[in-house]
Amino acid sequence: MTELDESYLEYPNRSYGMDHERYDWSLMANRSPIEWPGGNTLALWVNVGLQFFPLNQKGEPFKVPGGMTMPYPDLRHYTLRDYGNRVGIYRFFKAFDRYGIQPTVAMNTRLAERNPQLLSAVCDRGYEIICHGMHMDALHYGGMDPVVERDLIRSSLDKLRHLSGQAVRGWLSPAKSQSHHTPDYLSSYDIDYICDWVNDELPYEFKTSSGPITAMPLSTELEDRFIIMNNLHSEESWLQQIKDACDFLLKESQEQGGRLLSLSVHPWLLGQPHRIKKLEEALEYLTSQTGVWSASASDILDAYHDNKSKKH
Q: Is there a domain that residue 26 lies in?
A: no
Q: Is there a domain that residue 12 lies in?
A: no
Contacts for 7 with CB less than 8 Å, ≥ 6 apart? none
pLDDT bin (cut points 50, 70, 90) of residue 155 is: very high
Q: Max alpha carbon distance in the chain (Å)?
A: 68
CATH code at position 270:
3.20.20.370
Please tell me the pTM assigned to this model. 0.95
Angstrom distance (rounded) from CA 3 to CA 282: 55
Percent of the chain's residues with pLDDT above 70: 98
Contacts for 40 with CB less than 8 Å, ≥ 6 apart? 258, 291, 292, 293
What is the CB neighbour count within 10 angstroms for residue 192? Answer: 21
pLDDT bin (cut points 50, 70, 90) of residue 30 is: confident
Statement: residue 10 has pLDDT above 80: no
Q: Is there a domain that residue 56 lies in?
A: yes
- Average confidence (pLDDT) over 37-59: 97
Q: Is there a domain that residue 13 lies in?
A: no
Find out whether 131 and 156 touch, Cβ atoms under 8 Å: yes
pLDDT bin (cut points 50, 70, 90) of residue 278 is: very high
Which structural domain range is residue 282 located in?
36-310
Q: Is there a domain that residue 280 lies in?
A: yes
Q: Is there a domain that residue 212 lies in?
A: yes
Count of domains for the chain: 1
The pLDDT value recorded for residue 19 is 76
pLDDT digits (tens, 9 = 90+) for 210-247: 999 999 999 999 999 999 999 999 999 999 999 999 99
The pLDDT value recorded for residue 93 is 98
The pLDDT value recorded for residue 308 is 85
